[in-house]
Structure 1
């Protein structure tokens, strides 16, 4: 009797210890992953770079302003012959210097609308980077929940195995009592001891798998927890839409399709940008300069200083560049056609992947519901077998078989539950609705 009391106390203590651990909720896991996952961080940096590129500072619409300054020093030996009959002059070591400074302003008034199309392309590229970041986030969330539910499944399995071990230990206590009082042979005790060893090994393996699963989850989270933690093993199926309605969303919100449509828009702008090279460029320039000359003795002016303001309008037109612009435009058109073909291919893939994901989800959900019913049957069978075992109407082998049937039903139910939930998340990702649901 004391042994049973001790086992019950240890079980309650174990349960209390598990409850005292930190519980990592689904919402908290998503929040931590989006904040610390390295893939998400890299994607966010890419979006920041694309956003910086859309600034007016990177569009070419602003003028350029340059400052220039210089100084020259000369030391010359000069021989001068005069045409009016004066004697020749020789000047050795004649020094002269020149100092200058200027500010130049250049501004392109018209470049064939090239800047306009490039600016629109940068905006489209920024939106594409946001879609790429969203694709990374969706992939990370799926990876997160795959690891999260893996931990949850091993946690549920461990609870079932520990409960099985507790029942087996109770059976060993009962078998020892029966043997001591001559109501049973030693075989019942030995069978219980073998089953305890088997249950203990299963628990050891499951605990190891649970540790590995938690490490995998920490990797996705991008954060190392100093204390152990549990996860929420409850699952709520959130999908409420009908198949046709969800498929329409897939054709308009699927992330791969949206990225392809954005690439098509960029390809169209590439064509217009290339065509802008057929048009002339008109530019405005202006400068303000200062110049000072210290001349040698031969010069008429010893020192001269000048300042001046100049402005000009220039036009350049590349009438023929060897055909590079024509080739660039042609390739841009081919690239546009390629992007359109990729869109058609993606639409076909979406239809196939959606139907597969829908059927997979429905099948796994149905299996989960069947496994839930199977749990009730296995539990009733075990309860009746346990009652008969207590009064000696069934032997230990039959009792163990009922116990194993219940355990297998629980393990199968756990696998079916989390597998169905992951199938639902995959279906939501294909439909573009993964980020619009509560986890």
Structure 2
């Protein structure tokens, strides 16, 4: 062998040892299934955690303690101290001597409990309470939308990891074929059957396949880091994923469209917004009606008077209660303005729903047609892989017999690799298109991934 060929062989051995090491590491990696990835995202994804906190706040807001239906009870207490110089002069007819007191002390103490309860406020708090409940339902839908979007993001990255994993496997196969070819043409060159150009071409192909493999491995490592971000994990990614893809969409287009109208999360949120706006309108109308309230007080008062007073100490305790009615007969038109604006807001919410219904219908039709197209492309690519596999096998046999050139063999090899790559891309594209259809139809969270 020439020195150059020996260097090539050493380089090939280095690549071979490196790939064996990578294969050993991959064998130790844990496999994250799709179900496990979903569970990790639901537990650790920061967007989902934030949505859960918002839901907890909304649950607190719809509590009876935030409704205005419960009474209020307040306590008050106070103390006053006086130090006075006093001079008291009586009426002449009383025939009493004046009284002078320097540094006379007096004090007063009081304590009370006050109870207030609104019997009727024009039904305002009733509709406010209903509004808070619907706001909680809306927050639930917003949390569901966050989960759906996170799952779409998750599987976008998950299937990218799966595709790149299969790409690495294909690159390994291609590199092995190129190394075998290089070894064969080296022997042929040594025995004078071919010229040096064939060896150089085989060497270039080995180098290109090695570079492609290393680049694909780097893309795979980057994609695994992206997946860990979605999963909310911080450790160094060392895992593999499930590359098996199954399609679960079985309903026909008409059935799916009925699900869109009933279950689409965007349309359901708009329904809640209409209800909330309607309750706000009714709450504003309560400003036209009177409010009736109950008050009750239990009080204690003690006075320590100075020496100029005829009564030195007095203590009073008592219970009082009352009912009051307040009717804002005319407030300058502010209630009327609020009611008119609330009516406009209800109308606006209904118009927005009509607009979004058109957009959702469009999105569903686009997603469904895209899914069918990608399924057809997948089926075509699978046939294309079979055709290119048969062509490569025949080409390889003819190459071993010396009936075709290495360039023709390389072209058949590239055609097969490209066909397998295209099939893998079509497989994951079709699966993601299916998930888009399920998300629009509101059935994504009911799917067995």
Q: TM-score range by the shorter chain?
A: over 0.9
Contact 2:164 2:216 in 1 (8 A): yes
Contact 2:99 2:308 in 1 (8 A): no
Residue 109 (structure 2) pairs with residue 99 (structure 1): yes
Which residue, out of 381, 385, 388, partners 1:371? 381
Structure 2 unpaired stretches of 5+: 1-8
What is residue 200 of structure 2 aligned with on the other side? 190
Flag the 1:429–1:227 CA change in 2: closer, same or farther, 3 A. closer
Scaled by the length of structure 1, what TM-score is found?
0.96
- 1:184 deviation in Å? 2.2
Which residue, out of 17, 21, 27, partners 2:29? 21
Which residue, out of 317, 320, 325, partners 2:335? 325
CA-to-aligned-CA distance 1:357-401 (integer Å, 9 cap, x gap): 111111111111101110000111111100111110111000000
Which residue, out of 153, 156, 168, partners 1:146? 156
The secondary structure found in structure 2 opposite 1:99 is strand
Which residue, out of 407, 418, 434, partners 1:397? 407
* Equivalent-residue separation in structure 2 for 1:14 and 1:63 (angstroms): 71
What is residue 64 of structure 1 aligned with on the other side? 72
- 1:10 deviation in Å? 7.6
What is residue 241 of structure 1 aligned with on the other side? 251
Aligned length: 439
Answer with 61-70 or 12-21: which moved more. Answer: 12-21
The secondary structure found in structure 2 opposite 1:338 is helix
* Equivalent-residue separation in structure 1 for 2:333 and 2:154 (angstroms): 52
Which residue, out of 128, 138, 156, partners 2:166? 156
- 1:6 deviation in Å? 10
Which residue, out of 60, 69, 72, partners 1:52? 60
* Equivalent-residue separation in structure 1 for 2:237 and 2:157 (angstroms): 18
**CA-atom RMSD, angstroms?**
1.9
Which residue, out of 270, 277, 285, partners 1:275? 285
Contact 2:225 2:237 in 1 (8 A): no
What is residue 119 of structure 1 aligned with on the other side? 129
4+ long deviations beyond 6 Å: 1-13
Contact 1:118 1:273 in 2 (8 A): yes
- 1:190 deviation in Å? 1.0
Contact 2:224 2:237 in 1 (8 A): no
Contact 1:70 1:99 in 2 (8 A): yes
- 1:54 deviation in Å? 1.3
Residue 189 (structure 2) pairs with residue 179 (structure 1): yes
* Equivalent-residue separation in structure 1 for 2:399 and 2:19 (angstroms): 23
CA-to-aligned-CA distance 1:279-310 (integer Å, 9 cap, x gap): 11111111111111110011111111111111
What is residue 304 of structure 2 aligned with on the other side? 294
Answer with 181-190 or 365-374: which moved more. Answer: 181-190
Answer with 124-133 or 178-187: which moved more. Answer: 178-187
Structure 1 unpaired stretches of 5+: none
